[in-house]
Structure 1
């Protein structure tokens, strides 16, 4: 989950002639036609990940294809550059996905990555619900090794979750997706950007306090807990055992309390402090009768919404 903007890496990305400078990872001779794109194996905010077979040698890769237009529209060039910078440093570690090279066309960016086809840890947890302790320990140890390596490079990962932990064809962990990493953080230094995935955020991040690399170990603890006890185990807790969740969703269960309102004008359940206050006459005025600031109007372009004609239901 992109839950917030990554902080700017060093150096800043160049956009001369509409291009995004990907630095020394660029293969100037590479092009999309070098590959046969076989299947979509993942999707993200700015593009897709595809299984690709290189025509020259038949080698398989995961090629991450990103739309420049979407990236530039949301001013997330730095997010992409962080990922590129960290990918370049990951080639020395067995539990981090490797970047082979990157290239671009006028419309798209291409990252040519290791093809890792053992599935997301999230997928396996969904299917098996939980792992036995030896299996959970093994995965946690390999993830810890990868996180420790990033920390040795003064990189905080900041987005550890089962969706970002892949298994390779032998069953080893491969950590991926480095767009929320923070580079250049010395052991005693802190940072403060609010980012990550809500379910795994450390308390200091949630409190908007400065934090250090320890937030990654909190995330690892949360992931380990899920491996041992299951993803979102809350519906299966004994406390909810009398609840039929399908009946609940379809409102087939009788609520334990009926407000017994007489109709839409019955306000007995609203605080009189509010209901007795006079309604301002300006609330019902139209733009023709109320002077408005052009600056205020332009700040919320696209705010207004109405259903399409075919979405309107006949009463």
Structure 2
């Protein structure tokens, strides 16, 4: 600690100073006094020899301290307010963002009971986990570092983590509570949402009535508008990434394709997304902006009202051609305001698309959303039109049995640190700054 370093610096100075008592000015911090040849001649040779031997002894004692090489040993010497942050060098190193070291809570894989696999992706699995001490339930996303490195997806993983941290400020975005890493794995500790994907509910019911579709579209638009205010483009809106919580509110998830740092009037050009929901400018590999998210919202709203995405075809090439060239067809079973909103969102020219000028504010003012009280919506006071049937956090009826039947153990097995290969050591160092924990006062609430 800085106080300890100051004491060592001043102690070394004192051993070479004259017998006169002197105090270093605290305003200048630790001061090392330079000994000139003239001053050294004032000392007797024997005295100088004795002082040099004393300094040598001090240095030998310092470097022999086990705390310099074994952080876990240092825990025993650090006052209690710091000990919660001490970690074992062979496990992980949690570091909070903008949070002093003394306020971090120690967190590691063994702090959780892992109950079920609830999802699976290219780099790992998502597990339902219960924190042993607090009893809180979380969705823990466990990624294999070697798979991330093999696909060269480190930047996307770090971008996802960055976006997840900001999501804690919004009621309709899945947020990050902790992230940490072991030698071979990355862990995201996320909000647990068990009301099912909008995709599954839509598959079962085919279409939603307009009031229900409006409610979901309003909460989605609110979440997208918040991301845009942070200069983030979501880029992957689809029913599979829209979850329902146990109360019936939506939660957006999966932020791996987000683009951060897109300033007003800025553009990007990466080709990414899901085929059915790609905007024309993305398909044409043109520069695009946050209006791609409003196109996606239009496609999702169309699907909620009509049962399929607007330009859907089983043939991907034909579907792409439809997105680029086919005229939008709107059947009359939707209100005039609803059809007008869809026409605005699914405008092929992104400069003329609804939201191109005023972003979220344009949508808020649209007639389709006139029944929505936006303040009440943000406060989650608007009663959801549908409440999923769940009886508790361990009710997994809305998760795919293909996932829940998978064994948990295979997702968590780690190699012994003593047997770590060079590639594992390389992976361990590939994600600096990944780990995160909130202040101790906000832990597990």
- Shorter chain as denominator, the TM-score bin is 0.5 to 0.7
TM-score by length of 1: 0.66
Q: Which residue of 2 aligns with 1:83?
A: 160
Q: CA deviation at 1:24?
A: 2.9
Aligned residues of 2:92 and 2:183 also touching (Cα < 8 A): no
Q: Which residue of 1 aligns with 2:134?
A: 57
Matched, 1:175 2:252: yes
Q: CA deviation at 1:29?
A: 2.4
Structure showing the higher helix proportion among its residues: 2
User: What SS does the aligned partner of 1:174 have?
Assistant: strand
Q: CA deviation at 1:84?
A: 0.3
TM-score by length of 2: 0.47
* Aligned pair partner of 2:213 in 123, 136, 141: 136
* Highest RCO, 1 vs 2 (Cα 8 Å, sep ≥ 6): 2
Q: Which residue of 2 aligns with 1:266?
A: none
CA RMSD of aligned residues (A): 2.3
Q: Which residue of 2 aligns with 1:257?
A: none
Q: CA deviation at 1:127?
A: 1.1
Q: CA deviation at 1:230?
A: 1.1
Partners of 1:229 and 1:189 in 2: how far apart?
Answer: 34
Q: Which residue of 1 aligns with 2:122?
A: 45
Deviations 1:200-219 (Å, cap 9, x if unpaired)?
00000000000010000000
User: What SS does the aligned partner of 2:270 have?
Assistant: coil
Matched, 1:221 2:298: yes
- The verdict on how the C-alpha distance between 1:219 and 1:20 changes in structure 2, with shifts beyond 3 A counting, is farther
Deviations 1:17-69 (Å, cap 9, x if unpaired)?
99999863597721111111111111111111110011111110000010001
Q: Which residue of 1 aligns with 2:287?
A: 210
Aligned residues of 2:164 and 2:174 also touching (Cα < 8 A): yes
User: What SS does the aligned partner of 2:96 have?
Assistant: helix
- The verdict on how the C-alpha distance between 1:178 and 1:106 changes in structure 2, with shifts beyond 3 A counting, is same
Q: CA deviation at 1:181?
A: 0.4
Structure 2: tracts of 5 or more residues without a match: 1-88, 314-445
- The verdict on how the C-alpha distance between 1:221 and 1:60 changes in structure 2, with shifts beyond 3 A counting, is same
Structure 1: tracts of 5 or more residues without a match: 1-16, 236-315
Instruction: Give the greater-gyration-radius structure (CA).
Output: 2
Q: Which residue of 2 aligns with 1:259?
A: none
User: What SS does the aligned partner of 2:126 have?
Assistant: strand
Aligned residues of 1:64 and 1:111 also touching (Cα < 8 A): yes
User: What SS does the aligned partner of 2:161 have?
Assistant: helix
- The verdict on how the C-alpha distance between 1:99 and 1:117 changes in structure 2, with shifts beyond 3 A counting, is same
Q: Which residue of 2 aligns with 1:24?
A: 96
- The verdict on how the C-alpha distance between 1:226 and 1:18 changes in structure 2, with shifts beyond 3 A counting, is farther
Aligned residues of 1:53 and 1:60 also touching (Cα < 8 A): yes
Matched, 1:115 2:209: no
Q: Which residue of 2 aligns with 1:194?
A: 271
Which residues of 2 match residues 286-301 of structure 1 at below 5 A? none
Q: Structure 1 segments of 4 or more deviating over 2 A?
A: 17-29, 231-235
Partners of 2:195 and 2:129 in 1: how far apart?
Answer: 16
